[in-house]
Amino acid sequence: MDLSLLSRRSDHEWVIEPHGRMRVPGILYASEALVADMDHKVYEQVANVAMLPGIEGASYAMPDAHWGYGFPIGGVAAFDPDRGGVISAGGVGFDISCGVRTLYTGLKLRDIETRKVDVANALARAVPAGVGSEGQISLDDVEMDAMLSGGARWAVERGYGTVADLERIEEHGCMAGAEPAEVSPQAKRRQRDEMGTLGSGNHYLEVQRVAAVFDRAIGEAFQLREGDLVVTIHCGSRGLGHQIGTEFLRRMAIEAASHGIELPDRELACAPIRSELGRAYLGAMRAGINCALANRQIITALVRDVFAKLFPGSALPLLYDVSHNTCKLERHVVDGEEKRLFVHRKGATRAFGPGHPELPAVWKDVGQPVLIGGTMGTASYVLAGTGGKGERAFGSACHGAGRSMSRSEALRRFKGRQIADDLADRGIIIRSPSSRGIAEEAPAAYKDVTRVVDAADAAGLSRKVARLEPVVCIKG
């Protein structure tokens, strides 16, 4: 990105001043090096989002921002329904409520060192991964609607996990306002046999070692200590979420003009929040959130079964589950006035700080755990929300490393088998049904996650707590 197009407020805050049809500024939170490495398309997309009706504050980009569909991935924007604010399917993304959850194992690396291959094979058998992967659960019409309404609560009621899990999931495991009737029969058909599966792309299931703790006090509050092993699950709403996004983007593009909306980019198709189409999408999108929460809850139960068999007595309690790719109604202060806004986070993570009323009591004093997914062979991170009077980007942070290379380019440059062998030489066991998938997700195809996390910390988006390094990785 051409830095001369931006105004610099600080080392980690850059501004696209309003011009043309922009209603608010664009703000990028990143180091100079990360901004310089961003494609110019990120600049264009941040500016385009700032043109949408009812936007509040600014159009934001996180340190991992890169070119997406309509919104940049790593984009955050909030809209006021009282000022004609809109909701955009492109501002949520196709993998609705893709997210990350982390489980404690109570184990150290020495406890599994001689059994890593057994662990990898057992997890790969228990949790289907890859394009079109199907699980052992098949939902009829009644159960499908119950799942879309109930989310992780539905899964717990059917024996997948415990009630205690729900306290450590966003929305306590169930997104209110879901409308299964707004989800098309085709979307439901795609999901009928996909519950309890990882899918493909950047989704993964990893056993990770806590390699470093940077904030001892918050680390203790999060019960993360150096040498501990955790399990992290990264996946979303599978085919159902993708179908919802595809269908509503098409409808929004067709109807935009009838609502007097002049789109700066067709991919930013949207509808007024208070329109019939806007309400329909909200209901379907919230059902998609519940699908993702239920999916991760089922996978959690499958992982717990594997560990219970291999390491009798292990329980794997939940640290936290947090989503990206959502739009949620939240209270935020803008120019001294508290407003109820619809906050889009696409490839961005909610990061509420200490004292926030929506956080579970256990996190009130330290802020929300922010789970940042890494890449095979590098690292993931646990951060903590900051919030307070200095809240940035409506209480949001980055969500991962962010791609620096297209999947097609990664396929040209890398061989999946070679990557798996190289990682095995470093003691990291990879299991995937697709060598192509491994090549597409090569670590070198992503930004340096440490630079991204350091920028999020320096910008005040969140506080760095712990670094997690992979031991076993199941890839889609």
pLDDT tens digits for range 27-43 = 999 999 999 999 999 99
Residues forming the active site: 399
> CA-CA distances (angstroms) from residue 176 to 180, 272, 340, 368, 411?
12, 20, 16, 20, 41
Residue 47: which residues within 8 A CB-CB, separation 6 or more? Answer: 16, 19, 20, 22, 26, 59
Q: Is the pLDDT of residue 130 over 80?
A: no
Mean pLDDT for all residues in the chain? 95
Please tell me the predicted confidence (pLDDT) of residue 389. Answer: 64
- Band of pLDDT at residue 443, cut at 50, 70 and 90: confident
Q: Which CATH class is domain 3-475?
A: alpha beta
Quote the strand ranges of 116-187, DSSP E: none
What average pLDDT does range 331-344 have in this prediction? 94
pLDDT digits (tens, 9 = 90+) for 245-255: 999 999 999 99
Grade residue 199 by pLDDT with cuts at 50, 70 and 90.
confident
Token pair for residue 471? Answer: 């031991």
Q: Write down the domain spans for the chain.
A: 3-475
Of the given ranges (41-45, 129-133, 320-324), which has the lowest mean pLDDT? 129-133
Mean pLDDT of the 334-343 span: 94
Q: If phi over 0 gives left and psi between -120 and 50 gives alpha, with beta otherwise, what is residue 243?
A: alpha
The predicted-structure confidence for 377-411, as pLDDT tens digits, reads as follows 899 999 999 976 668 999 999 999 888 888 899 99
Could you tell me which residue, 392 or 376, shows the higher pLDDT? Answer: 392
Q: What is the mean pLDDT of residues 445-451?
A: 91
Give per-residue pLDDT as tens, 258-309: 999 999 999 999 999 999 999 999 999 999 999 999 999 999 999 999 999 9
- Report the alpha-carbon distance of residue 112 to residue 58 in Å, rounded: 48
Mean pLDDT across 444-471: 95
Tens-place pLDDT, residues 166-183: 999 999 999 999 999 999
Can you give the pTM of this predicted structure? Answer: 0.96
Per-residue pLDDT for 194 more than 70? yes
